[in-house]
Amino acid sequence: MKNMKKIGMVAMAFVMALGISVKAEAVPVLTLFDGTTSLSITDGGAGDESAIAGTVQYSQSIGNWDISLALGVGSPAIGTSTLPQLHLNNAQFTIQMPAVGIPNDLQITLSDSVAGPLAADGFISTYGGITTDGTVRVRTYANGNLIVDSGAIVSSPFSGSGTNNTLFGLSPITLLTIIDIHHPGTQVFESTSLDTHTQPVPEPGTMLLLGSGLVGVAFYSRRKKA
């Protein structure tokens, strides 16, 4: 419980910092915190197992946790400076208990910054997972503005989404994903796997063109039948 409070305080400090200062351009950063040890992996820096610009990969361990794979993807691999995206793909976190009955917590954060301004109304975040042997909470932000908060997820499989449509013109832009995992330690081996995706909502103009195209197809189809 103390670890969860400590992890929560770190997360809130991170979000508050975003509201004060946002870098115009940066690279994806993946951070792991088990309540005692904090490990940050920067795209292209020490510990990054991917040679692709805009991706940061880690598949080792921190404390009692084994990270089978954590792959963060941002700029310039996906998205643009005005339509950024941030994905955490194929994330798998497992723990081999040193002793049954000892709970363990892990917080994963993924962040990336671009110049902006945002050329969409806002962002939509989706998340999903095959399994969790504990509790999972997913939160995403754009410059400290909440996009989605899953609340405590306790069942498998799981999925959900959230949208913030009030961010047009935001500049610069920092996207942040925070995942909190709690494993109760009731089994010798416990695991959680999930994916998260944050991307711009479709622009009204794009939706209008798409709608017009669909109407045109329907009209053409009717004329052809006639």
As separate numbers, helices (DSSP H) first and strands (DSSP E) second, the chain gives: 2, 13
Based on the structure, what is the number of domains in the chain? Answer: 1
For position 39, which CATH number holds?
2.60.120
Q: Check: CB of residue 161 under 8 Å from CB of residue 124.
A: yes
Q: What is the pLDDT of residues 3-37, one digit of tens each?
A: 544 555 445 444 444 443 444 568 999 999 999 99
The separation between CA 83 and the C-alpha centre of its own chain, rounded to angstroms, equals 16
Q: What is the pLDDT of residue 68?
A: 92
Q: Check: CB of residue 115 under 8 Å from CB of residue 18.
A: no
Distance CA 28, CA 109 (A): 10
The separation between CA 48 and the C-alpha centre of its own chain, rounded to angstroms, equals 18
Distance CA 8, CA 181 (A): 11
**Domain extent at residue 206:** 2-225
Amino acid at residue number 164: N
State phi, psi for 59 to the nearest 5 degrees: -145, 55
Cis status of the peptide bond prior to 76, with omega within 30 of 0: yes
Per-residue pLDDT tens digits of the chain, which is 226 residues long: 445 445 554 454 444 444 434 445 689 999 999 999 999 999 999 999 999 999 999 999 998 899 999 999 999 999 999 999 999 998 999 987 766 778 899 999 999 999 999 999 999 999 999 989 999 999 999 999 999 999 999 999 999 999 999 999 999 999 999 999 999 988 888 999 999 999 999 755 444 444 444 344 333 334 444 4
Distance CA 183, CA 4 (A): 11
130 CB-near residues (< 8 Å, 6+ apart):
156, 157, 193, 194
Angle at 60 between CA 74 and CA 7, to 5 degrees: 70
DSSP reduced 3-state for 221: helix
